[in-house]
Amino acid sequence: MGSLAQFRRNLLALPQATTTSTIFSGFVVVVVGFTGPILVIIEAAQRGGLTTAETSSWVWGAVVGNGVLCILLSLWYGMPITAPYSTAGAALLGLSLMNFTLAEAVGAYIVTGALLFLLGVSGLFARVVALIPQPIALGVVAGVLLRFGLSVFTSLPQSPLMVTAMLVTFFVLRRVGFRVPMLGALLVGSVLAMLAGELTFQGVTLELTTPVFVLPAFSLQAVMTLALPLFALALSSQYIPGVAVLQLYGYKAPINAILMVTGAASMLLAFVAAHGLSLGALTAAFVASPDAHPDAQKRYAAAVYSGVWHVGMGLFGATVVSFFAVFPQTLIATIAGLALIGTIISSLTNALQEPKGRDAAVMAFLCTAANFSLLGIGAPFWGLVVGVAVYYLANGGKR
């Protein structure tokens, strides 16, 4: 699929593929990442007793590594591919990291990356994905995104004026055909937050982050407690939903190659305390939809700019975290929810399109949306299990 010649063509065509919507869609990915997942990483690092330098190094590796892979993979394959760090994995580390030294955790990260790489080499994951009916995968995607969509209205009681103004702005701009309605909503929300005294940039300083090299140590307990759950979480909450999002918009994801590249990158970034990269699911929804660009062949530009934003901001590590931390959570939650409306609609519409798959798709959707954890594994995995089981039971074991 990808080649050096295609990489060169896509790079040369990037200026023609660049629009305000591609640049802003890439920026939204960074905003959502730095106001949610990154804060999970910081909390996990604090619980694990990491120093400020080690925490900044973790952020540096996760964000810069994500940005570099976004740029390279999207240009190589000509499709919007994102490679974020696993939020679920960071949450898992918040519960378990304090039981291990950082060296043991780094050893576990290397094992996780190696497992992903070997899975890609074997080609087995693509076969597993091919066995999962698309309605179930799309039901899981809708269930994952539902929580972000609901955040628009769970934020309403905290800031009714701001959220209402952002909603009105978004849909008015959408009605008149404005290409980037999220930009207008973000500007209106920011102005209202500043007028209310909820948005101030005092105390934010600019400082480059220097990565910290960590020599790994390998222990069976760390592998069983950290590496294997991280591996399972990456597959169930990132790779399978990520493939489904790309398929939803007509892209045939080179999943085996992505597994090998992200696995290899995860092994390298582990040495600077980063817990690994994977295929984007939520982030793919921002850059792969028509809101990013009306031409599907040019949406790779949105992922490229997401990578550029990540590299630029990731170099400053914790400084950027402090910058985005000043934005009210209600503003960020509302922007994220509005940005995902189109993908939620598409996921549910296509998941329920096939009559034989509706029961299974709805069960997968409900199970995933319940957002629970069983045996240390999150709801997206169990959504797949329930959905596939219901599908084959309802159809007499036939695809």
CA atoms within a 13 Å half-sphere pointing along the CA-CB vector of 365: 21
pLDDT in tens, 312-351: 888 877 677 667 667 787 887 787 788 778 778 878 888 8
The verdict on residue 282 lying in a domain is yes
* pLDDT level of residue 398 (50, 70, 90 thresholds): low
| Backbone φ/ψ region at 123: left (φ over 0), alpha (ψ -120 to 50), beta | left
- Cβ atoms of 341 and 124 closer than 8 Å: no
The rounded percent of the chain whose pLDDT value lies above 70 is 94
pLDDT in tens, 157-212: 888 898 899 999 989 988 887 766 877 888 888 888 888 877 777 767 777 888 89
Least reliable range by pLDDT among 4-13, 198-207, 310-319, 352-361: 198-207
The verdict on residue 387 lying in a domain is no
Average pLDDT, the chain: 84
Number of domains the chain contains: 1
Who wins on pLDDT, 134 or 153? 153
pLDDT reported for residue 178: 74
> Mean pLDDT over residues 54-83, rounded?
92
The verdict on residue 86 lying in a domain is yes
The verdict on residue 124 lying in a domain is yes
- pTM, to two decimals: 0.77
What is the enclosing helix (H) or strand (E) of 139? helix 134-154
Range of the domain at 308: 4-341
User: Is residue 182 packed enough to be buried (19+ CB in 10 Å), middle (13-18) or exposed (0-12)?
Assistant: buried
Write the CB contacts of 149 (distance below 8 Å, at least 6 apart in sequence).
337, 340, 341, 344
Total Cβ atoms within 10 A of residue 313: 24
The verdict on residue 356 lying in a domain is no
Q: How many residues does the chain have?
A: 399
Give the Å distances, CA to CA, from 18 to 15, 22, 209, 296, 304. 5, 6, 30, 13, 10
**Closest among 58, 77, 92 to 2, alpha carbons compared:** 77
> Mean pLDDT over residues 104-124, rounded?
92
The verdict on residue 165 lying in a domain is yes
Assess whether pLDDT exceeds 90 at residue 64.
yes
Assess whether pLDDT exceeds 70 at residue 263.
yes
The verdict on residue 378 lying in a domain is no
Angle (CA) 259 384 226, round 5°: 55
The verdict on residue 379 lying in a domain is no
Least reliable range by pLDDT among 54-58, 115-119, 318-322: 318-322
The rounded percent of the chain whose pLDDT value lies above 90 is 27
Assess whether pLDDT exceeds 70 at residue 1.
no
* pLDDT level of residue 397 (50, 70, 90 thresholds): low
Who wins on pLDDT, 265 or 239? 265
Assess whether pLDDT exceeds 90 at residue 116.
yes
Least reliable range by pLDDT among 28-42, 156-170, 177-191, 278-292: 28-42
